């Protein structure tokens, strides 16, 4: 006569975690990690303290989960670029990355960009996040480097070592995120256009003749 444990278990558990992470995402985007209290997250999630602590051991654990999603979300859309034929030019890669800095959970970039700044700042202090940042940023650079090399292999001239140009391209995205978060401009369209024009002028655009 042993009653079975409630059947909800697994799916329910995942759903609850998601619910909490979405709430935390919103709070962190609004107020950053440190000005957000557990009470804020709990209230936003519409749960109780006891419930939240059943799914996450600590605030730290929630921060790591959210920050991890933000980080990995950035590199997520890269695969698409590898499928293009012919291989995209550096100008195209740059334009793509600026257009789609992240999708992930954010509906509006207004939510995402300040959160990104918070994650970067936190990563300079939290060893676990620092490791993650190292891994993700390394992978992103490597993928960009490979895309450049593929483009070179079609007979184009990069003029700068692919390995060295990749961080420059990453900068263009990070700087855009930073300026958007700080002052709300330039617009993605204007900025993208300027960057693409710069790459075009440098002979790294789509329509450049080989050599």
Partner DNA sequence: GTCTATATCCGGATAGAC
Partner DNA sequence: GTCTATCCGGATATAGAC
For a copy of itself, the binding residues (CB under 8 A) are 31-35, 113-114, 117-118, 120-125, 130, 133-134, 137-138, 159-161, 164-165, 167-168, 170-176, 178-179, 181-183, 185-186, 190-191, 193-195, 197-199, 201-204
Considering the complex, state which of residue 19 and residue 208 has its C-beta at the smaller distance from a copy of itself.
208
Residue 10: both structure tokens together: 């697994």
Which part of the chain contacts DNA (CB under 7 A), choosing from 47-55, 71-79, 140-148, 186-194? 47-55
3-state secondary structure 169-197: HHHHHHHHHHHHHHHCCCCHHHHHHHHHH
SS3 category, 204: coil
6 binds, among a copy of itself, DNA, none (CB under 5 to 8 A by kind): DNA
Whats the size of the chain, residue-wise? 211
Q: Which does 54 bind (CB under 5 to 8 A by kind): DNA, a copy of itself, none?
A: DNA
Residues 6+ away with beta carbon under 8 Å from 40: 27, 31
52 or 177: CB nearest DNA: 52
Phi, psi of 46 (to 5 degrees): 70, 30
HSE-CB of 156 using CA atoms within 13 angstroms: 26
DSSP state, residue 37:
-
What does the alpha-carbon distance between residue 151 and residue 140 come to, in Å, rounded to a whole number? 17
Q: Out of 20, 23, 29, 47, which residue is the one contacting DNA (CB under 7 A)?
A: 47
Beta carbon of residue 30, minimum distance to a copy of itself (angstroms, whole number): 8
Among 22, 32, 51, 77, binds DNA (CB under 7 A): 51
Residue 36 binding partner per list DNA, a copy of itself, none, with a CB distance cut-off of 5 to 8 Å that depends on partner kind: DNA
Torsion angle (degrees, nearest 10) of CA 77, 148, 134, 27: -30
Q: Which residues bind DNA (CB under 7 A)?
A: 5-6, 8-9, 12-13, 16, 36-39, 47-51, 53-54, 57-60
């Amino acid at each position: 006569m042993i009653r079975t444990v409630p059947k909800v278990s697994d799916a329910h558990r995942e759903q609850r975690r998601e619910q909490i992470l979405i709430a935390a995402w919103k709070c962190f985007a609004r107020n950053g990690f440190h000005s957000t209290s557990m009470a804020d997250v709990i209230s936003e999630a519409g749960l109780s303290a006891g419930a939240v602590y059943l799914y996450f051991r600590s605030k730290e654990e929630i921060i790591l989960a959210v920050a991890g999603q933000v980080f990995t979300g950035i590199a997520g859309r890269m695969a698409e670029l590898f499928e293009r034929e012919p291989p995209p030019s550096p100008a195209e890669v740059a334009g793509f990355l600026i257009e789609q800095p992240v999708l992930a959970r954010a509906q509006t970039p207004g939510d995402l960009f300040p959160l990104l700044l918070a994650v970067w700042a936190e990563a300079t202090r939290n060893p676990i996040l620092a490791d993650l940042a190292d891994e993700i940023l390394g992978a992103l650079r490597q993928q960009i480097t490979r895309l450049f090399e593929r483009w070179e292999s079609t007979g184009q001239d990069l003029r700068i070592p692919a390995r060295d140009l990749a961080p420059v391209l990453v900068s263009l995205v990070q700087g855009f995120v930073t300026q958007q978060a700080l002052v709300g401009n330039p617009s993605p369209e204007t900025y993208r256009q300027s960057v693409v024009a710069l790459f075009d002028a440098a002979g790294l655009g789509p329509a450049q003749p080989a050599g």
